[in-house]
Amino acid sequence: MSKIALFASGSGTNVENIALYFKDKPNVDIACVLTNNPNAFVLKRAEKLEIPSLVFSKSDFKDTTKVVDYLRDMQVDFIVLAGFLWLIPNGLLQEFPNKIINIHPALLPKYGGKGMYGMNVHKAVVENNETESGITIHWVSEKYDEGEVVFQAKCKVENTDTPEDVAEKIHKLEYQHFPKVIEQLL
């Protein structure tokens, strides 16, 4: 049995999609949802799905073992970042070596790094007249978006697409591929 922790900072649509995907799979348990944002809608999604959740502060995350202790208590063995915006501290990386993945809304190495998330990425893709974009699922390292790539999927970007159009295409790719790639990695 694999026990997964899902980290998110916002709405949590990917968290919900992943939780529903694994709901009837006996070998995978979504053990908990963690967020750095006490107002994140992901908390309401977790409650509706009856998944325990934890809200933590920057100091909890970086300066204490609160998050690692919670993950240990929940017997987590795999972590999925699904719209989580903070850099993962070394203590967490050491506790879960090669057990943390992230999804990025672009084809890395393009449009990665600090500040490159959500609509920031899609605006940059459109402003730079890219003809394609996509998603990258990668292992998490000590630097933003620089871990080894596990999977990429592409979509066409038309010259008439707005950043919102690109976002919609990216969300479709995320919902289609993210749970399946997690399942393969487990």
Provide the Cα torsion 124, 142, 2, 152; round to 10°. Answer: 30
HSE-CB at 50 with a 13 A cutoff on CA atoms is 2
For the record, the structure tokens of 2 come out as: 């694999």
Choosing from 104, 138, 171, 177, the catalytic residue is 104
The Cα 51–Cα 72 span in angstroms is 16
**Strand pairing class (100-104; 78-81):** parallel
Please say if 138 is a catalytic residue.
Answer: no
Active site residues: 104
